[in-house]
Amino acid sequence: METIDAFRHPQALFLLLLPAALLLWTWNRAGRAVVLPFDHSPVGSGAWTRFFLRLFESTPSLLLGVACVLLAGPQAWEAPRSKRVLTNIQFCVDVSGSMTAKFGDGDRYDASMKAINQFLDYRTGDAFGLTFFGNSVLHWVPVTTDVSAFRCAPPFMHPRNLPGWFGGTEIAKALNECRKVLLEREEGDRMIILVTDGYSSDLGGGNDEVIARELSKANIVVYTVHIAEGAIPDPVVRIASLTGGEAFKPEDTDGLARVFQRIDKMQKTRMEKSQAEAADRLWPWCLAGLGLVAVTLFALFGLRYTPW
């Protein structure tokens, strides 16, 4: 029988005095001796017979004791379980005009969205959001574990389909808006994956460090994928570094896929132990009660005192 660590209603254990008293009475009362005349027959003491009869007569008292324990609500502490910590991942994708430049078999935008959709398969169980930005910011998909909207996004937000006033690059504004979205998520870790191909003027004058401090304060890690020729702009590298992330520069579509795989490995799923809880442990006592019922029924077929 399992170890019992606690009882939900320990005061009910006082009821065990009743079956204890019945057991004491069963084993100490006078026997039901009936004298029968037998000619030329040795008569034994019947000590073993009396022992087994009283043993089986004790089963109702034991059943009552099991019922008292069940009323007390036996409990045991469960072992702490490992729980997967949700990661809230906000994709921040540049849709400026330069994202239509050739990259692999398509353009930069198409390659980026394809890599993002592949990344979703690596991170099953996380929550994802999708933000597009240029000179303006558009939150296309709210942070959710249902990623079906990501699959439909590419044709609608392709830079060729956007108005001209949307076509600049303001990374600071986009990161600020993504930070606000992630702050609304109280549960889990927070991460931004910034996909861009340009330099942002609103990160100059030390504004990059200001943005990085605000993101760090909100426990948001930024990974940057710079999908363009030339060196990665220093402000973007600085933001990724100060928040605990990294900046990458894929040379081709295969390199882009490897970048997202590396981000997945760097930002591994985190597990945490949940607090142990007391759970009811009734089934061992129920089995014991059923066993006593079976023994009682068996005894009624002959191992009992007769009424005469």
**Residues in a beta bridge with 279:** 76
Same domain as 120, residue 134: yes
Residue 2 is predicted with a pLDDT of 46
Same domain as 244, residue 136: yes
Q: Which of 240, 190, 177 is nearest to 218 (CA)?
A: 190
Domain of 221, CATH number, reads 3.40.50.410
Q: Which of 129, 120, 140 is nearest to 184 (CA)?
A: 129
Residue 307 located in a structural domain? no
Same domain as 125, residue 59: no
Same domain as 289, residue 257: no
Q: What sign has the CA pseudo-torsion 33, 34, 39, 41?
A: negative
Determine how β-strand 102-103 pairs with β-strand 106-107: antiparallel
Residue 305 is predicted with a pLDDT of 60
Residue 308 is predicted with a pLDDT of 47
Residue 199 is predicted with a pLDDT of 87
Which tokens in the block code for residue 133?
């930005």
Residue 138 is predicted with a pLDDT of 92
Residue 105 is predicted with a pLDDT of 86
Same domain as 199, residue 137: yes
Residue 69 is predicted with a pLDDT of 86
Residue with tokens 């605000």: 214
Residue 196 located in a structural domain? yes
Same domain as 118, residue 247: yes
Determine how β-strand 270-273 pairs with β-strand 82-85: antiparallel
Residue 78 is predicted with a pLDDT of 66
Same domain as 147, residue 115: yes
Residue 29 is predicted with a pLDDT of 77
**What is the rounded distance in angstroms from the CA atom of residue 72 to the CA atom of residue 285?**
11
Same domain as 93, residue 74: no
Residue 308 located in a structural domain? no
Per-residue DSSP letter, 18:
H
**Sequence-separated (6 or more) residues with CB below 8 Å from residue 267:** 87, 189, 191, 221, 223
Residue 307 is predicted with a pLDDT of 52
Same domain as 140, residue 242: yes
**Radius of gyration of the chain from Cα atoms?**
37
What's the domain range around 266? 84-271
Same domain as 55, residue 99: no
Residue 37 is predicted with a pLDDT of 59
Residue 17 located in a structural domain? yes
Per-10-residue mean pLDDT for the chain, 308 residues long? Answer: 66 87 82 58 62 81 87 74 76 92 90 90 86 92 85 83 81 95 87 92 91 94 91 93 93 88 76 61 84 84 62
Query: Residues, the chain, total?
Result: 308
Residue 306 located in a structural domain? no
Tell me how many domains the chain contains. 2
Residue 245 is predicted with a pLDDT of 92
Element (H or E) spanning 190, and its range?
strand 189-196
